[in-house]
Amino acid sequence: MVVVFNKTDVIQHQFALEWMEDFEVFRAALESDNSYPSTLTRSLSLALEEFYKNLRVVGVSAVSGFGMVAFYKAIQASADEYMETYKYFQTLFVVFFTHTHTYSNLHFR
Protein backbone atom coordinates (compact mmCIF):
# COMPACT_ATOMS: atom_id res chain seq x y z
CA MET A 1 0.00 0.00 0.00
CA VAL A 2 1.22 3.49 -0.81
CA VAL A 3 0.29 6.61 1.13
CA VAL A 4 0.72 9.77 -0.92
CA PHE A 5 0.82 13.24 0.57
CA ASN A 6 0.08 15.73 -2.18
CA LYS A 7 0.40 19.52 -2.32
CA THR A 8 3.91 19.34 -0.86
CA ASP A 9 4.65 22.60 -2.66
CA VAL A 10 2.15 24.25 -0.27
CA ILE A 11 3.11 22.47 2.96
CA GLN A 12 5.76 19.83 3.55
CA HIS A 13 4.69 16.41 4.77
CA GLN A 14 7.60 15.86 7.18
CA PHE A 15 5.46 16.52 10.26
CA ALA A 16 3.07 13.75 9.21
CA LEU A 17 5.97 11.37 8.57
CA GLU A 18 7.31 12.12 12.03
CA TRP A 19 3.88 11.44 13.53
CA MET A 20 3.64 8.15 11.63
CA GLU A 21 7.09 7.00 12.76
CA ASP A 22 7.07 8.13 16.41
CA PHE A 23 3.88 7.77 18.40
CA GLU A 24 5.28 9.87 21.29
CA VAL A 25 5.63 12.89 18.99
CA PHE A 26 2.11 12.26 17.71
CA ARG A 27 0.70 12.00 21.22
CA ALA A 28 2.49 15.19 22.26
CA ALA A 29 0.86 17.03 19.34
CA LEU A 30 -2.56 15.90 20.60
CA GLU A 31 -2.02 16.71 24.29
CA SER A 32 -3.63 20.15 24.11
CA ASP A 33 -6.85 18.78 22.62
CA ASN A 34 -9.18 16.89 24.97
CA SER A 35 -11.99 16.20 22.50
CA TYR A 36 -13.31 12.68 22.00
CA PRO A 37 -11.57 12.20 18.62
CA SER A 38 -8.22 13.26 20.11
CA THR A 39 -8.64 10.96 23.09
CA LEU A 40 -9.54 8.06 20.80
CA THR A 41 -6.63 8.82 18.50
CA ARG A 42 -4.21 8.92 21.44
CA SER A 43 -5.43 5.52 22.59
CA LEU A 44 -5.00 4.09 19.08
CA SER A 45 -1.58 5.63 18.49
CA LEU A 46 0.40 2.47 19.31
CA ALA A 47 -1.69 0.39 16.93
CA LEU A 48 -1.38 3.07 14.27
CA GLU A 49 2.40 3.06 14.63
CA GLU A 50 2.44 -0.67 13.87
CA PHE A 51 0.08 -0.18 10.92
CA TYR A 52 2.21 2.60 9.44
CA LYS A 53 5.41 0.52 9.57
CA ASN A 54 4.33 -1.53 6.55
CA LEU A 55 3.28 1.36 4.32
CA ARG A 56 5.26 3.09 1.62
CA VAL A 57 4.94 6.85 2.06
CA VAL A 58 5.79 9.57 -0.46
CA GLY A 59 5.17 13.28 -0.78
CA VAL A 60 4.40 14.73 -4.21
CA SER A 61 3.65 18.01 -5.90
CA ALA A 62 1.95 18.17 -9.27
CA VAL A 63 3.00 21.83 -9.59
CA SER A 64 6.74 21.32 -9.08
CA GLY A 65 7.00 17.61 -9.90
CA PHE A 66 8.63 16.99 -6.52
CA GLY A 67 8.44 13.36 -5.40
CA MET A 68 7.17 11.89 -8.66
CA VAL A 69 10.18 9.58 -9.09
CA ALA A 70 9.71 8.30 -5.52
CA PHE A 71 5.98 7.91 -6.21
CA TYR A 72 6.55 5.74 -9.28
CA LYS A 73 9.16 3.68 -7.43
CA ALA A 74 6.72 3.11 -4.54
CA ILE A 75 3.98 2.04 -6.97
CA GLN A 76 6.38 -0.35 -8.71
CA ALA A 77 7.56 -1.79 -5.38
CA SER A 78 3.94 -2.33 -4.32
CA ALA A 79 3.10 -4.00 -7.63
CA ASP A 80 6.14 -6.27 -7.25
CA GLU A 81 5.11 -7.11 -3.68
CA TYR A 82 1.61 -7.97 -4.85
CA MET A 83 2.85 -10.23 -7.63
CA GLU A 84 5.37 -11.98 -5.37
CA THR A 85 3.22 -12.35 -2.26
CA TYR A 86 -0.50 -11.80 -2.66
CA LYS A 87 -1.04 -13.01 -6.21
CA TYR A 88 0.20 -16.44 -5.11
CA PHE A 89 -2.37 -16.56 -2.28
CA GLN A 90 -5.11 -15.33 -4.59
CA THR A 91 -4.31 -18.17 -6.99
CA LEU A 92 -4.40 -20.68 -4.13
CA PHE A 93 -7.79 -19.34 -3.03
CA VAL A 94 -9.23 -19.61 -6.54
CA VAL A 95 -7.94 -23.17 -6.92
CA PHE A 96 -9.28 -24.12 -3.48
CA PHE A 97 -12.65 -22.46 -4.13
CA THR A 98 -12.97 -24.14 -7.53
CA HIS A 99 -12.24 -27.58 -6.09
CA THR A 100 -14.49 -27.03 -3.09
CA HIS A 101 -17.30 -25.81 -5.31
CA THR A 102 -16.89 -28.78 -7.68
CA TYR A 103 -16.92 -31.30 -4.81
CA SER A 104 -19.91 -29.66 -3.17
CA ASN A 105 -21.84 -29.85 -6.45
CA LEU A 106 -21.02 -33.54 -6.77
CA HIS A 107 -22.18 -34.11 -3.21
CA PHE A 108 -25.63 -32.65 -3.90
CA ARG A 109 -26.32 -34.54 -7.15
pLDDT, tens digit (0-9, with 9 covering 90-100), for 36-61: 887 787 777 777 777 888 889 999 99
pTM: 0.62
pLDDT band at 1 (very low <50, low <70, confident <90, very high): confident
Q: What are the domain boundaries of the chain?
A: 2-81
Helix axes 23-30, 36-52, angle to 10 degrees: 170
pLDDT at residue number 93: 62
pLDDT at residue number 19: 81
Contact 15, 33 (CB under 8 A): no
